[in-house]
Structure 1
Amino acid sequence: MKKFNLILNHKKTTISVLPIPSTESWISKLNALSINEKEYWDYKNTELLINTAIHALHSNNNNAAILNYMIKIFHKKKLSKNAKKYYVKKVLHLAVIYPYLIQLIDNYIFEEQELDSNIISRFSNIIYEEGFMSNNYESVCYALFFSIKYNFEIKSIDFEKIRNSNHAILNLLGYLYCCNSDMTDNKKQIKVFKNLAKELLENKEDFQENWVFVYEVLSIGHFNKENSDWKKLKDNKVSFLNAMLLGVKLKQSKNSV
């Protein structure tokens, strides 16, 4: 500072400790707890790791990476019966509070822990209702996706609410939910969803915002010269659905012929 004739004002100057590096404390703590030479993790070790992650979450401004990291630590680890029960219960509860975890739930909890469909159904019905209460339509989408994949009903399903969401993927999953359902009242809703898709196709702006719903619901005959590119995709049997959802759609198409 002397070189540039700068003087330090000691009255107005404070010296702060440098922040902890980002490879930081919570990662080190979780990694340390994840080292376990036993074949099975017991209840005590599982509880300690989860509680440490939750404490770190509260100490780091609810950093989403912490719980994501915790779940991935448990990936492929063998848990004792009591540890598994506690782990599943805790993570599903956390996913209701922190919906960003829901995207991990299918692979890391439902499939990996081989959960009973009744547990999946209860969880999905909760996030369906919570999603609508908080206008978190992504949670509602996951609830419908799980119900289709694991073949159960959403008890408080409200198709009017789904259509009024103006959410393309939610509408598409609502339509596929009806295609997958054996209930007569739900089957009647298929036509209502198709009529909505036709209305959206007529308006260029509406179609641009809802193209995935409109494209997947309507057959090739509804696409004209103005939608020639989409018609070509239809003609080439292109779909934006995964194999499971596409199977539901094709099954309904065959049944309606």
Structure 2
Amino acid sequence: MKEFFTIGEISRLFGINVQTLYYYDSIGLFQPSERSSGGQRKYAFDKIYALASIRYMRKLGYSLDEIKDYMARLNVNITLDNLKHRSIMLKRQWEELLSIDMVIQRKIRFIEEQMKGLRVEEVCVRRYPDRRYIEIGREEILYHHDSFYFYPTIAFYIDESKSFGAYLYPDNEESISKIPEYQIKVIPEGDYLCGYHLGAYETVTQTIRKIRLSRPDLKLSDLTVNFNIVDQFVEHNNENYITNIQVRILGTNREGTGSFR
């Protein structure tokens, strides 16, 4: 085995860019054993183990500053403590990544299901079961609320007044069970007059009025429930936003009661 290696040989041996080794040298993390009169870096054989340790810790996710600190006081007890701590941190990061993936998958399922066979010009009556949501409140606090980012958004309109909620789209019951019960509200089961708004939210109230006026034979709730299907999170052009508008049917104007099952 060679007594010394050049920086090029170390680079090829570990598959590390030479510039990276220069940087490691500049910060005092991995330095040559000696330099030739011409300034060429020379690494003794035992330096291989030091670089292998650095590579090992990088693969475990340690920062260069952390590695430099650990390498200066490396022994088996400290290493075991560090590895145990790192294992705990990685498990937490893994749980966070799983939570983020759950948000992504929920968004995909909701949009794909809502877009299936969607006809923007359609106004129809549909029956829905009870639907749960997290109450958020006024727009002033909307953007501070994590649920706004984690679940599909619902906007509740009464005339020009509006408030918001986060739709608990049929999801893993285990994840919903972690939400405090007092935060969960219900959109009641029933028949709803449904339509769509295509475009910016600033003009959604005009579409609400058109949908309500399209069925003068129906007694409708004062409350309009809007589900954001295509929103600012998936589309940069607000003219392409799609909102599902739903108004609960209370009965008919002719009979006073009605069933639309």
1 or 2, which has the higher strand percentage? 2
TM-score tier (shorter):
under 0.3
Q: Which has the higher contact order (CA 8 A, sep 6+)?
A: 2
Say which structure is richer in helix: 1
The structure whose Rg is larger is 2
TM-score by structure 2 length? 0.23
